[in-house]
Copies of this chain bind each other. A is one copy, B any other.
């Protein structure tokens, strides 16, 4: 059910942070790995229940929190206040969300580190992190 080649390193990622490697958490991860698009909590819940029918909604919330903590998954903030989740891209990248079909089209590499440093120097504020999302229209929705 879960890809064998990855399970070992995934398992040690859990252990390194003192988390347990449970089927529910792996299922949530698997669901996100299988669709590079971002998914709402409810969608994830439905998909997880396809092979773990007893999984509760609260567990999905908790699993996602854990996976975000492990940098395996990224939380996406939407305008209406709801959230969705995507599998984390390589490195620090920023999601481009299609305003029509509501999917994460891809991740942009946006070199903000230098700018952050500049701001830190200019303002005296220690910039630690940033949150950036781009919104646009994907190729398919342009047609």
Which A residues are closer than 8 A to B by beta carbons? 77, 81, 83, 96, 98-99, 105-106, 108, 110, 112, 115-116, 119-120, 123-139, 142
B residues within 8 A CB of A81?
77, 81, 83
Copies of this chain held together in the complex: 2
**A134-B130 contact, Cβ under 8 Å, with A105-B123, A110-B115, A123-B96:** yes
Majority secondary structure of chain A interface residues (helix, strand, loop or mixed): strand
Verify B99–A125 contact, CB threshold 8 A. Answer: no
A-B contacts besides A110-B112, A110-B119, A126-B136, 5 pairs, CB < 8 Å: A81-B81, A98-B125, A124-B139, A127-B136, A129-B134
Q: Decide if A131 touches B135 in the complex (CB within 8 Å).
A: yes
